[in-house]
Amino acid sequence: MRIKKHENLTQANITKVISLLEPKEGKPITKKEACAILNIAYNTTRLQKIIDEHKEMVEFRARRKAQNKGKAATPDEIKAVVRSYIDGANVSEIAGDLYRSPAFVKAIIERLGIPQKLADSDYEGMRNAMIPEQCVRESFEIGERVWFAKRNKMAEVLEEHNNIDYEAKYGCKCYKLWVLDPCDLSNTFFPWMNGDRAGFYGSALAYDLGSLRHIQEYLD
């Protein structure tokens, strides 16, 4: 279904319209009002198509969830959870994509200790970000990929700082990092460069870094 930029055809909004058109109690809204809520032109044929497709999708998801209920997580599902969660998807979004329950996804996250990417605007969350217990390490290897909680990004360890005794002063080691900030460089002055390797230099104490060794098999 082709969606125009101004139209509000989110799953939540369509569900809301259906509940207003088919209320358990009270008077239903008109189809004209339903189109207005969805911000689409008044067209009863298209409105009905939107509703029918939404209901089919909901029924399909329900069938798939029922089929998966009680089944153990597959390696592909675990991989999808790890990658999606680190990329910033929330539990409900991941559950929907996998046709699983939010409890199923949350159990994988907690069992593996997957660090979460917060919204880029969540500065308070980044300042107070905690490293999952499974990610805590006292030292890291050169070239190792880590989670940099304060920057809310993946990073690679370049070298250990030895200009002062960080362990005596801060109780842990300090590392120079290449903080990964992937972007599309195809329409820039540097189209030949690998956008996946774009980023910037940074430094971090070991307690602000999370090891990904325990989930590396799902990230490769």
Question: Residue 142: its pLDDT value, please?
Answer: 95
Of all residues in the chain, the percent with pLDDT exceeding 70 is 91
pLDDT band at 18 (very low <50, low <70, confident <90, very high): very high
Task: Write the pLDDT tens digit of every residue in 35-52.
Answer: 999 999 999 999 999 999
pLDDT at 182 over 80: no
Has residue 66 got a pLDDT over 90? no
CATH top class, domain 123-219 = mainly beta
Mean pLDDT value of segment 4-13: 86
Question: Which residues have CB under 8 Å from 191's CB, separation 6+?
Answer: 185
Q: Where are the domains of the chain?
A: 11-68, 75-112, 123-219
Q: What is the pLDDT of residue 183?
A: 67
The lowest-confidence range among 15-29, 123-137, 175-189 is 175-189
Task: Please indicate whether residue 15 or residue 69 has the higher confidence score (pLDDT).
Answer: 15
Give the count of alpha carbons within 13 A of 203, CB side only: 9
**Residue 89: predicted pLDDT:** 80
Separation CA 142–CA 160 (nearest Å): 8
| Distance of alpha carbon 158 from alpha carbon 146, whole angstroms | 11
pLDDT-based confidence at residue 177 (cuts at 50, 70, 90): very high
* pLDDT at 161 exceeding the cut of 70: yes
The model's pLDDT over 190-214, given as tens digits with 9 standing for 90+, comes to: 666 665 677 889 999 999 999 999 9
Rounded to whole angstroms, the Cα distance separating 178 from 7 reads: 41
- pLDDT tens digits, one per residue of 77-127: 999 999 888 877 888 889 988 989 899 999 998 899 888 778 778 888 888
